[in-house]
Structure 1
Amino acid sequence: MHTRRTFEEICERIREQLALGVLKPGDKLPAERELAQQLGVSRNVLREALRSLEMAGVLRLQKGVKGGAFIQQGDTRRMNEVMRDMLSLGTISVRELSEARVHVLDLVVQLACANARRADLDALEANIERTELATREGRLLDRVECSREFYKLLAASTGNKVIAMIVDSVTEIHMRFVYAKVASSGVAMARLAEKRRQFLAALSERDVALASRLLRSHLESVQRMLEQDPGAMSLHVALADVQPGMRR
């Protein structure tokens, strides 16, 4: 049976304070000496706990005069890292990741048709305009970044933060494959902005069946494009420290 170490108990106590609302995002923890005394542990144990919470994305440790340990606002970066680690360890496969993305986005379309506000639709329209401009100017890698943003905006329009986090995490890795394909071949999906507008029109009309069919058709086309280049779908690409939109 696993016996928790002292620093793990300290991590759990800080997490409990977060759950109870005693600590909130943006709060600064007491100075190291004071906090160690409050918790009844040595400063070395406290430092180990703080480093662990930093790695988990709970805390941000800042050095300097205005430094200290701050509660993070929370984002999906840690989830992205976990997903990449699971790929690296072989816990999940690239095929499973792609399959999950299709099914999750099916749910996203259903919820977006029900919950998307005018502001959400306007944000998607603005994204399509940026996609058109990037296409006209031949900035295909910037267009990949527009695609990443498109799915993030679409997921946000569901009004469900958990689903938005899942979509953001899966999309971040998937877009690495797309980026690798476009960067190596200079080839990108044809008529992307046109397809996006057709989808947005269906979404605006709250037509779940049509919107789902259009998006699934596009996702299948992208998958076929990627599968034509096995190198673009390699595990190395998913794990490479390259962000969509960045130049190599």
Structure 2
Amino acid sequence: MSPGDEHDSFGGVGGSGQTRTRLPEGNSGDVYGAGRRPVRSSRSLVTVVGVVVLLVGAIALANRGGGDPADPSAPRSGTPGKAAPTAATGVPPVTTKNGPIPTGYAHDEQGAQSAATNYAVALGSAAMYQQASRHDIVRAVYAPAVVDGVLEKLDATYSTTLVKSAGLDANGVAPTGTTQVSRTVPIGTRVREYTGDSATVEVWCTNLGGLAGADSTRPVTSTWFTITEKLTWVGGDWRLESSSQSEGPTPVHGDDRASTADEIAEAVEGYGGFTYAR
């Protein structure tokens, strides 16, 4: 999800949402000086703290708005051909998993965007370089009618030559002392077409790829691309019919210092990925 795209659910406090706390009056009316009351008992202090917690909770609930997040009747955003903000409330977009891949998406535009985004992550992962895990991913994200054809095509794409060119052995395993990096990070989605049981979704992504290690000759670099995914509603979930990729949009590189190979390897192993949802 994109920061600040949650219908102002971040920091939605303001205006009528402000709360005043009235301090107890001392005998002299000076709440700061020597005229303040004697120290309260522990029971009174607990009571005051409890009231404050309840007030904070009430304010938080009031600022959330939108009713119960699990309410199926809650409004959902999204218009074909336009970018839609991430909804802070609505039907929970992911309910189950097929192995490590989230499944069980809502039968609407938001569900299609959630599916397309998570499928882009899976198809851009390091697991695609090994045949067994690649086959598991394809079977989980593609429609049954096209799985066999996609498997054949991807097995040819991830040939021994390509895998070795990535610095891996014939089984897709990184050399000792190095960490393979292939992580796709979605930036945003756009619905190109939606007809109820089919959808075309564009997912703008960046990818980190390479080998992290002291002796690596393939440093981890970033690339930018857009994946166009055609999805169909089959078997009670969104599945891919096809997926294609185009270059960019690509931003100008910043002035950040490039991290060492060890820092990159530690970050990739230490920071987990996300389940993306509209």
TM-score (norm 1): 0.25
Relative to total residues, which structure has the larger helix share, 1 or 2? 1
TM-score (norm 2): 0.23
